[in-house]
Amino acid sequence: MNMPYNLKGRNFLTLLDYNREEIDYLIKLSENLKIKKNSGIKGDLLEGKNIALIFEKTSTRTRSAFAVAARDEGAYPEFLGINDIQLGKKESVADTARVLGRMFDGIEFRGYAHQTIEELAVNAGVPVWNGLTDSYHPTQVLADLLTVKENLGYIKGVNFAYLGDGRNNMANSLMIAAAIMGMNFTIVSPDKLRPAPALQEKCHSLARESGAAIRQTDDPVTGVKNADVIYTDVWVSMGEEDKFAKRINLLKPYQVDMEMIKNTNNDHPIFLHCLPAYHNTDTENGKYIYEKYNIEEMEVTDRVFNSKYSKVFDQAENRMHTIKAVMVATLGK
């Protein structure tokens, strides 16, 4: 594959920094790396590289995906939890970045403020990759795009409906991706939970170039009509646990159930969720929330989550392949 000349050494903080050709290349590279792994071919494209994995927020998929992806191609990942380093405590973000950049070849950051990863990127001198911030989740969206392509065969022209909290990092990142890649994207949410006006304006500008349609509605019935993809996320993000009662009351009409699937008027829509999902009481947190707030299911019903429409575990696996593509493209041989 011919790689766009300017990916080597680049940071991966938000998809706003990448154009359609570059994102398309990362998806195609992910497909090739997935075939390679499934064929049992040991990689060496990151051989000898040391990768720092900084986690302010806990994770299952992001940590596992970065660790396995790095090892698959010969790199050594080092986990640095919030209690393992001095980031923002005894030592400034900038000073931490200068130190880690002299010891590691690439840095992943998963945390709260987007400003933190921007400071890391400015000062590290090595590629910095966004594993999630409060504003953006670009590695997740690459996996989402790969999953859409695998299931539908194309990306441009896909009708994509996102339901729920329309101003969180997933809604932001999916809207950006849709605007760049030419998907028709509808945010289905209450008016008070919409992306920031400046980001909306930017995405509408990008959509005019790609041919995408970016829409917003508070009506879930019309919002999902003709959707090829229905996507939702938890109603309360990390750090917002005090908002559970308000969000449940506000977002209950946007729960993805079988009636919502039926309202697509599509015989074969796919359901996506970045996970973890509150779809039953099988977890300690889920049981506590359901009992405290007298609710049986939240953003998605268990019936949809475990249905033929659900591709959430394909999506989870694809985190590994797309993250590997990002590291290979920006750091590899």
Q: What pLDDT sits at residue 226? A: 98
Phi-psi region of 153 (alpha: psi -120 to 50; beta: other; left: phi over 0): left
Could you list the residues known to form a binding site for carbamoyl phosphate, using ranges: 59-62, 86, 110, 137-140, 274-275, 319
What is the per-residue pLDDT across 49-104, written as a single tens digit (0 to 9) for each? 999 999 999 999 999 999 999 999 999 999 999 889 989 788 999 999 999 999 99
Q: What pLDDT sits at residue 1? A: 65
Per-residue tokens: 142: 């690459």
What's the whole-number average pLDDT of the chain? 95
Provide the H-helix boundaries in the chain. Answer: 20-38, 61-72, 93-103, 114-124, 138-152, 169-181, 197-210, 220-223, 244-251, 258-262, 284-293, 302-305, 312-331
What is the per-residue pLDDT across 92-101, written as a single tens digit (0 to 9) for each? 999 999 999 9
**pLDDT tier at 236 (50, 70, 90 boundaries)?**
confident
Could you list the residues known to form a binding site for L-ornithine, using ranges: 169, 233, 237-238
Could you list the residues known to form a binding site, using ranges: 59-62, 86, 110, 137-140, 169, 233, 237-238, 274-275, 319
**pLDDT tier at 25 (50, 70, 90 boundaries)?**
very high
Per-residue tokens: 6: 């300017």
What amino acid positions are annotated as catalytic residues? 110, 137, 140, 233, 274, 319
Q: What pLDDT sits at residue 28? A: 97
**pLDDT tops 70 at residue 4:** no
Q: What pLDDT sits at residue 252? A: 94
Q: What pLDDT sits at residue 125? A: 98
What is the per-residue pLDDT across 272-299, written as a single tens digit (0 to 9) for each? 999 999 888 677 777 777 778 778 789 9
Sheet holding 229-232, edge to edge: 214-217, 184-188, 159-163, 229-232, 270-273
Specify the DSSP class assigned to residue 135.
S
Integer angstrom CA distances of residue 274 from 20, 27, 265, 305 = 22, 17, 24, 12
Percentage, residues of the chain above pLDDT 90: 86
Report the distance separating Cα 201 and Cα 167, nearest Å.
14
Per-residue tokens: 237: 């993000």
Note the pTM of the prediction, 2 decimals: 0.95
Q: Set out the domains of the chain in order of their start, with CATH numbers.
A: 15-136+317-331 (3.40.50.1370), 138-316 (3.40.50.1370)
Query: Using CB atoms within 10 A of its CB, is residue 260 exposed (0-12), middle (13-18) or buried (19+)?
Result: buried
Can you tell me the mean pLDDT for 156-173? 97
For residue 38, how far is the Cα from the chain centroid?
Answer: 23
